[in-house]
């Protein structure tokens, strides 16, 4: 087995394709589209030009969840390393059919009920820091929450209401 190798190919008008050849010589590709969508593919043959044996299209929120699963927060400096303080920082997504779609953040009573802080909202391609109680939520938003493990789990339950 050899070392893993990666490459990056611009796709004009679409985005960027990232290719990975694993130590076991498996070929994976990710097409990162400008709108945040991702297509993850696995190839048997020599390259990503061949028909993939597996291909999964993910919207931006789903892609973020896959990243979180592949690189758990307690191993990742991507958001904030707070576990030694008894805190966790996580992304909580709002579905398009969320009960909170179009409602104010304060209406969720998340901070009051759970003690967590919502420190930012990721919407499409922008980050909106420090949303106040009058911030209007939208389906597809990803909320960055920080608090105790129990508080974050409770907040995810509240925010996951359909």
Average pLDDT, the chain: 83
The more confident residue out of 96 and 48 is: 96
| Number of domains within the chain | 2
Q: Tell me: do 92 and 144 sit in the same domain.
A: yes
Gyration radius of the chain over CA positions: 18
Q: Tell me: do 50 and 84 sit in the same domain.
A: no
Give the side-chain half-sphere CA count within 13 A for 131: 27
Q: Tell me: do 110 and 47 sit in the same domain.
A: no
32-85 pLDDT, tens per residue?
A: 888 888 999 888 766 556 677 888 998 888 887 787 777 655 444 444 555 566
The answer to whether the predicted template modeling score (pTM) of the entire model surpasses 0.75 is no
Under 8 Å between Cβ of 95 and 162: yes
Q: Tell me: do 35 and 77 sit in the same domain.
A: no
Q: Answer yes or no: is 66 within a domain.
A: no
DSSP 8-state secondary structure symbol assigned to residue 102: T
Torsion of CA 11, 14, 20, 21, to 10 degrees: -60
Q: Answer yes or no: is 65 within a domain.
A: no
Q: Tell me: do 86 and 116 sit in the same domain.
A: yes
Query: DSSP for 49-93?
Result: TSPPSEEEEE-HHHHHHHHHHHS-GGG--SS---GGGT-EEEEEE
Q: Tell me: do 80 and 155 sit in the same domain.
A: yes
Q: Tell me: do 104 and 136 sit in the same domain.
A: yes
Q: Tell me: do 83 and 136 sit in the same domain.
A: yes
Q: Answer yes or no: is 104 within a domain.
A: yes
Q: Answer yes or no: is 17 within a domain.
A: yes
Which residue range forms the structural domain that includes residue 83? 73-159
CATH code of the domain in which 139 resides: 3.30.70.1450
Give the side-chain half-sphere CA count within 13 A for 27: 14
């Amino acid at each position: 087995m050899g070392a893993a190798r990666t490459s990056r190919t611009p796709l004009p008008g679409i985005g960027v394709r990232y290719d990975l050849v694993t130590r076991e010589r498996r070929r994976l590709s990710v097409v990162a589209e400008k709108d945040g969508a991702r297509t993850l593919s696995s190839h048997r043959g020599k390259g990503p030009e061949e028909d993939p044996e597996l291909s999964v299209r993910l919207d931006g929120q789903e892609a973020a969840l896959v990243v979180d699963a592949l690189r758990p927060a307690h191993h990742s400096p991507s958001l904030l390393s707070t576990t030694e303080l008894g805190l966790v920082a996580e992304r909580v997504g709002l579905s398009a059919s969320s009960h909170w779609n179009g409602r104010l953040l304060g209406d969720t009573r998340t901070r009051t009920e759970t003690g967590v802080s919502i420190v930012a909202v990721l919407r499409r391609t922008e980050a909106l820091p420090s949303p106040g109680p009058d911030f209007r939520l939208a389906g597809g938003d990803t909320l960055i929450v920080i608090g105790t493990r129990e508080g974050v789990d409770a907040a995810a339950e509240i925010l996951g209401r359909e």
